[in-house]
Structure 1
Amino acid sequence: MIILFIQLLCSTLINTNKDTKMETYKWPAAKAPVADIKPKQRTFHGDTVTDNYYWMIDYFKKGPDSEKTIDYLNAENVYLEKMMAGTETLQANLFKELKGRIKEKDESVPAFKNGYFYYSRTEEGKQYSKFCRKKGTLEAEEEILLDIDEMAKGHPYYSATGYTVSPDNKLLAFAVDNVSRRQYTILIKNLETGELLKDSIANTEGDAVWAADNKTLFYTSKNQKTLLSEKIKKHKLGTSTAKDKVVYHEKDKSNFISVGKSKSGKYIFIYSSATLSTEEWVIPADQPDADFKVFQPRVKDVIYSVTALADKFLILTNWEAQNFRLMECPLDKMGIENWKEVIPHRKDVLLEDVEGFKDFIVISERKNGLVQLRIRNINGSEHYIDFEDPAYSASVGNNPEYNSTKLRFIYTSMTTPVSVYDYHMDTREKLLMKQQEVVGGYNKSEYTTERLYATAKDGTKVPISLVYKNGLKRDGKAPLLLYAYGSYGHSMDASFSTSNLSLLNRGFVYAIAHIRGGQEMGRYWYEDGKLMKKMNTFTDFIDCAKFLIEKEFTSPAHLYAQGGSAGGLLMGAIINLEPELWNGIIAQVPFVDVINTMLDESIPLTTNEFDEWGNPKKEDAYHYMKSYSPYENIEAKNYPNMLVTTGLHDSQVQYFEPAKWVAKLRAEKTDKNILLLKTDMDFGHGGASGRFDYLKDIALNYAFLLSLENIKK
């Protein structure tokens, strides 16, 4: 059972702030669904656990209770509709407001590659986009390569990805998923005739890569059941996919694999990566029938990635360098014994990525939790690009041309809309190519963004980025939504959101807790929030919340938390640890049944996750994972108001995890607070595919929060 870390200070804050809770939305007296109890026992390492709701896996497993599972999910959807019926007008207005800020007729900044400018554009009232190009100049006639609006007709869900044009510019490979399980079918279009070729490659990651001969494609094939990326295959146009040759077979089920091409177009790489080690294989792109050659055989706890330049390979690696360092080696001597250091390891700077050009390399670094872009000329001179906000997000954009002297990068902050820049690396001139337009008007000066630091229970300083509208009273009465992710080393940088304006303009503070498990403060930040240190992720988030209460940004009566997927695990853990700290929780596609999922290797992606969470078949990992797994630690006590969302076709976190979690919470909790479950019956992990449909989910989330604050408009 999880030990509750309730500190005396927090208890005092909770007790003194309960009086500030206002009268809320009058929830209907609808009767919540009661899930059937069918006890199933699990015994591991001498520990026996009874799971009353294991039967809900049957739709996924095609078991006898498959129909009963669907009936339960539908009943929960009906209950949600009844409970939220009084907010229908509010939801409709929120949707209109959210959609109204989006520029419907829009166009991306064109990127030049191999003689053509490529871009996508959207049209007014349409959900999807058109992928286009112009030859040589932006004044040339437009070619619409793919009209996704037309292609998506008749499909509740439609995703097109992986656009890649053959070296001779005559063929387009792309991939389609119309089920929302990320199993893509690769198709080929003749750009001269407009016809689709007969070649159709099913069950892939969608990552087609052209060889230099314009007729050979490499792609990643998935396991039909586990959805693991298992094989790299080679397809010759005009031949049966049944004859596609396997050029690489990954035997380690903890590794993800993929295939890609160097920017110069000269090399094709196979990538095999686990959390703790990587391996790459390479062939010349003009020798598609050659055998792939290992760049450097995998070594335990060594991660590396390769960037091809004209005369050498660059290697970004953590070999004897926790925060990574940059190495180089000759084109014909790739092994680790040939690596020579270019940029050494630094304890206070994380090297994240490298972008190669003919005369420059661009290094993405992270210092004090913020990204820096370092421009290095091949002659050795270097400089950094200046950024202005106290908290921001900066990243290298689409730079397909190897010979270019311009760097395209993306910049945004919590008050700065997404901005696309072209930076002349030789002259240091920075040109704003496009800034996200907020339809209806937006004045940055009306909002304040801050970067603060909370002190975690072990003394660690945890960054918090927050934004609010000017005039905020620091009296503890403002509603605050605290967001975080905290897993896989994924850094959650501060960025702009037009949707958040709907909360900010209604008096909310929006905050991001940069908790351990991410990589904001360096590689150690990730390593201190995974495996047997995972509890740091949850206590960091709680300590950030307590800090914001102490600083009177909010109080428990007005404090809300939100997270999705692994961030949904965070939501489940914090309500078990400190349920009275929050007035409301939004848990999106939450990973909450940790032990059961990680014990079942038939569930998609499970084996890839052992280095992140641990393998519960090992006794020490089992007991530690059980100590925080949300489903395992539900108790008979009060819980906050909660809205939980999932998707029936989710391939990342299966629907039965949140469904079981909600059913058990309903049976065990002692409060009368609201508990709602919404299942998208047509969608998966990412929700709706259209550029407007997802706004309905945001409108529902916001209506839930506003109702708890008794904000009716």
Structure 2
Amino acid sequence: MTQNSGQPLPQPPVAKKVRTVRTHHGDSFEDNYEWLRAKESADVVEHLKAENDYQEAVTAHQEPLREALFQEIKGRTLETDLSVPNRKDGWWYYSRSVEGKEYGIHCRVRAQDSGDRVADWTPPAVEAGVEIAGEEILLDGNVEAEGQPFFAVGGAATTIDGNLFAFAVDNAGDERFTLRIRDLRTGELLPDVIENVFYGIAFSPDGTRVFYTVVDDAWRPHQVKAHVLGTPVSDDEVIYQEDDVAMWLGFDLSADRRHLVLGIGCSEFSETRLLRFDAPGAGLQTVISRDERILYEAEPFLLDTGAGTDAGTPQERILLTHNKDAINSMVSLLDPAELAKPLAEQHWATVVAHSDDIRVNGAGVTSTHLILSVRQDTIERVQVMPLAGLGTPAQGPIVEPVFEEVLYTAGVAGSDYEAPVIRMGYTSYFTPSRVYDFVLPTADQPAGVLLLRKESPVLGGYEPSDYVATREWAVAVDGTRIPLSVLRHASVAQDSTAAGLVYGYGSYELSMDPGFGIPRLSLLDRGVVFVIAHIRGGGELGRHWYDDGKKLQKKNTFTDFLAATDWLAGSGWVDPARIAAMGGSAGGLLMGAIANLAPEKYAAIVAAVPFVDALTTILDPELPLSALEWEEWGNPITDADVYAYMKSYTPYENVRAVAYPKIAAVTSFNDTRVLYVEPAKWVQRLRELTTGNEPIVMKIEMDGGHGGASGRYVQWRERAWDYAFVADSLGATELLPGAGLK
């Protein structure tokens, strides 16, 4: 890659070497760049700015392409738009976006009740750019962000009576939020201000308390606290504190808002504790102890069992989604009285039996139905069944909304306990996001009714038929078939000349589900064949797919990605010399690993907020989130085998003297999940050892967090930067004939 002027590239910044030796299990590793961790050091900040200067010089010739990509993203996006109103209690809530403004505006209008339940839950007709009579603005992100380097909302909640609105704002990008409360009757902020809260806010049903989460020094949520409005924050009650450094803590309200539900756990086992709002003096009740090593979620609710003397009187029950003797999880129904017995003696009624082919992701309730989220054949689906007869032989049928496409994603986007409908989101690779209301089945409508409320408009003459998405399969080194989603412009010929990009993640049981993306169209319009590799470590094919790509099986994630690359190289679509790779966070670790394993397979690699110094991080439990990573990678502090296995693949330790391709590491100074120091060290070591001449750059957002900078226009430019780097590296900068904005 050379500048348009033909002048040689500037020299990259060279960090000084300060020898540090890390020794564990009798093994020593010399690290010359650990000093870059000193975030407050003027030398570190100066070095990072020099990295940005170098990156800007190296990629300056890409600026016209970046601007073209940005304009294409902007030109396809309806900038003045609004969400479909969602009813909660007596109000319809929605958000607006306005052309030229970075952030959303959160609004509401009062709902009306006519007695026709479906009509009362039909959202009002709202128009982009048109104010509705009675509209109230709850939060204008553009006003809140004024004069701030960063802006993000970490949670919001409204009291049942609709009078108070709580919201949490981050102005640094470090995901530590300030919670404030607005009286919506007057528009004034209450004096209550709570600093350094984590994601998630909820009011008590009576509106007198607000619940929030606090992180510890390692950025692990470890306390759930309650603030009584009008009292000093110093008096806030600690509802629960989790001291196990390997466990994550969160909370929610039960669907019927009768309980505060505390979720404590890791990816392998969990514990739920319940607090009844009508009996707070009873304290927290543990559903299943973590000592049983069961991974589960619990939802307390009232069920009309229709039996005996209790017929017609709803009884307390607990819905369990769990993996007890069920690797893909199942759903059971439990009488709370059973909790007094030893686990082996408890009776759990089966609601949804275990299946080797169907992964149960979760279950919830409305006042009339059970709502299931399941994954089958890589696709996430929503299913419902009536509560009547639940857990008995008289249990009702499972009903699933039917969609026409094969590769799609459908999920519950919100539901109210009393509503006769559930709100659903739907998307596919080339179907823009849709919002549906699914009218829950009744005797008159046993299949339910799917009502389309909105399809997000795409401007610029977008035609779904211009693009093709297919499911293909690569074969891993151990013979495992790896599902691929292959996306391309319909005019691309299968003549082995196109450019290709392989994207992957493969960690934490997260699935790369089908979804529409306007920025991606700009790559497809330039003839890039885009492959999403559904590799092990993700959750696309059930729990075993995840288990086979974690801890001492982690290398399967990397070799699966290489197999996906080999499939693309031999598919007949692309020139094998024109393939790039992209991934972020744990997918950035993947990028570092495949760069070391097979640098010759790639013309370019983009690693976003990359977890490339994973072993150093996890060996230090004082660093943010380190202890929580043991469940994913193993504990290299106590286990010599885990240490040796990790050291054999972690990117930073395994940089070697080979010719690396063009590499871009993209990061943020205030990221608390993957610290900027990881890519900063990695690029130094890459430049030190590479035998090739391709540039290795680091782009660092000095005011951003794990998701980059805030503001939609800024984020569009960041995506344009990533894609321009790829397209330029692959020689895919020109639009295909007839492609692009119309």
TM-score if structure 1 supplies the norm length?
0.94
Report the more deviating stretch, 377-386 or 594-603: 377-386
Report the more deviating stretch, 553-562 or 378-387: 378-387
Q: Which residue of 2 aligns with 1:218?
A: 211
SS of residue in 1 equivalent to 2:165: strand
Q: Which amino acid aligns with 1:221?
A: V
Q: Which residue of 2 aligns with 1:390?
A: 406
Q: Counterparts of 1:649-664 in structure 2 under 5 Å?
A: 649-664=670-685
Q: Which residue of 2 aligns with 1:190?
A: 183
Q: Counterparts of 1:420-459 in structure 2 under 5 Å?
A: 420-426=435-441, 427=445, 428-459=448-479
Q: Which residue of 2 aligns with 1:42?
A: 22
Q: Which residue of 1 aligns with 2:164?
A: 171
Contact in 2 for aligned 1:174/1:206 (Cα 8 Å) = no
Write the distance in 2 (CA, Å) between the matches of 1:167 and 1:44: 54
Q: Which residue of 2 aligns with 1:112?
A: 87
SS of residue in 2 equivalent to 1:95: helix
Q: Counterparts of 1:624-643 in structure 2 under 5 Å?
A: 624-643=645-664
SS of residue in 2 equivalent to 1:556: strand
Contact in 2 for aligned 1:22/1:709 (Cα 8 Å) = no
SS of residue in 1 equivalent to 2:679: helix
Contact in 2 for aligned 1:323/1:346 (Cα 8 Å) = yes
Provide structure 2 residue ranges, at least 5 long, that are not aligned to the other structure: 113-123, 125-131, 304-316, 389-395, 735-742
SS of residue in 1 equivalent to 2:399: strand
Q: Which residue of 2 aligns with 1:254?
A: 246
Change (3 A) 1:257 1:29: same
Q: Given the alignment of the two structures, is residue 81 of structure 1 paired with residue 87 of structure 2, yes or no?
A: no
Write the distance in 2 (CA, Å) between the matches of 1:85 and 1:340: 64
Report the more deviating stretch, 630-639 or 183-192: 183-192
Q: Given the alignment of the two structures, is residue 145 of structure 1 paired with residue 138 of structure 2, yes or no?
A: yes
Write the distance in 1 (CA, Å) between the matches of 2:8 and 2:412: 49
SS of residue in 2 equivalent to 1:684: coil
Match for residue 315 of structure 1 among 311, 315, 320: 320
Contact in 1 for aligned 2:668/2:701 (Cα 8 Å) = yes
SS of residue in 1 equivalent to 2:293: coil
Match for residue 325 of structure 1 among 320, 330, 348: 330
Change (3 A) 1:22 1:653: closer
Q: Counterparts of 1:579-594 in structure 2 under 5 Å?
A: 579-594=599-614
Q: Which amino acid aligns with 1:250?
A: E
Contact in 2 for aligned 1:393/1:413 (Cα 8 Å) = yes
Contact in 2 for aligned 1:24/1:707 (Cα 8 Å) = no
Q: Which residue of 1 aligns with 2:121?
A: none
Q: Given the alignment of the two structures, is residue 272 of structure 1 paired with residue 264 of structure 2, yes or no?
A: yes
CA positional deviation for 1:392:
1.6
Q: Given the alignment of the two structures, is residue 305 of structure 1 paired with residue 305 of structure 2, yes or no?
A: no
Match for residue 209 of structure 1 among 202, 226, 247: 202
Change (3 A) 1:105 1:28: farther
Contact in 1 for aligned 2:3/2:58 (Cα 8 Å) = no
Q: Which residue of 1 aligns with 2:425?
A: 410
Contact in 1 for aligned 2:255/2:364 (Cα 8 Å) = no
Match for residue 370 of structure 2 among 353, 361, 365: 361
Q: Which amino acid aligns with 1:442?
A: Y
Write the distance in 1 (CA, Å) between the matches of 2:43 and 2:3: 38
CA positional deviation for 1:383:
2.1
Contact in 1 for aligned 2:482/2:564 (Cα 8 Å) = yes
Contact in 2 for aligned 1:203/1:221 (Cα 8 Å) = yes
Write the distance in 2 (CA, Å) between the matches of 1:340 and 1:711: 58
Provide structure 1 residue ranges, at least 5 long, that are not aligned to the other structure: 1-20
Q: Counterparts of 1:488-637 in structure 2 under 5 Å?
A: 488-617=508-637, 618-637=639-658
Q: Which residue of 2 aligns with 1:487?
A: 507
Match for residue 181 of structure 1 among 174, 179, 190: 174
CA positional deviation for 1:27:
7.7
Write the distance in 1 (CA, Å) between the matches of 2:596 and 2:80: 46
Contact in 2 for aligned 1:529/1:535 (Cα 8 Å) = yes
Q: Which amino acid aligns with 1:142?
A: E
CA positional deviation for 1:333:
4.3
Contact in 2 for aligned 1:102/1:438 (Cα 8 Å) = yes
Q: Which amino acid aligns with 2:692?
A: D
SS of residue in 2 equivalent to 1:275: coil
Q: How far does the alpha carbon of each residue in 1:260-282 deviate from its partner, in whole angstroms, 9 at most, with x for none?
A: 10121111111111121111111
| Cα RMSD after superposing both structures | 1.8
Q: Given the alignment of the two structures, is residue 96 of structure 1 paired with residue 71 of structure 2, yes or no?
A: yes
Q: Which residue of 2 aligns with 1:462?
A: 482
**Aligned residues with identical type, % of pairs:** 38
SS of residue in 2 equivalent to 1:635: coil
Contact in 1 for aligned 2:670/2:706 (Cα 8 Å) = yes
Write the distance in 1 (CA, Å) between the matches of 2:36 and 2:408: 42
Q: How far does the alpha carbon of each residue in 1:657-698 deviate from its partner, in whole angstroms, 9 at most, with x for none?
A: 000000000100000012111111111111111111111111
CA positional deviation for 1:330:
2.4
Change (3 A) 1:215 1:577: same
Write the distance in 2 (CA, Å) between the matches of 1:291 and 1:710: 64
Q: Given the alignment of the two structures, is residue 645 of structure 1 paired with residue 666 of structure 2, yes or no?
A: yes
Q: How far does the alpha carbon of each residue in 1:180-215 deviate from its partner, in whole angstroms, 9 at most, with x for none?
A: 111112111111111111111111113222112211
CA positional deviation for 1:477:
1.5
TM-score if structure 2 supplies the norm length?
0.90
Q: Counterparts of 1:692-711 in structure 2 under 5 Å?
A: 692-711=713-732
Contact in 1 for aligned 2:109/2:134 (Cα 8 Å) = yes
Write the distance in 1 (CA, Å) between the matches of 2:290 and 2:731: 57
How many correspondences in the alignment? 686
| Higher RCO by CA contacts (8 Å cutoff, separation 6 or greater) | 1
Q: Which residue of 1 aligns with 2:740?
A: none
Write the distance in 2 (CA, Å) between the matches of 1:710 and 1:548: 17
Change (3 A) 1:476 1:296: same
Q: Given the alignment of the two structures, is residue 282 of structure 1 paired with residue 274 of structure 2, yes or no?
A: yes
Q: Given the alignment of the two structures, is residue 29 of structure 1 paired with residue 49 of structure 2, yes or no?
A: no
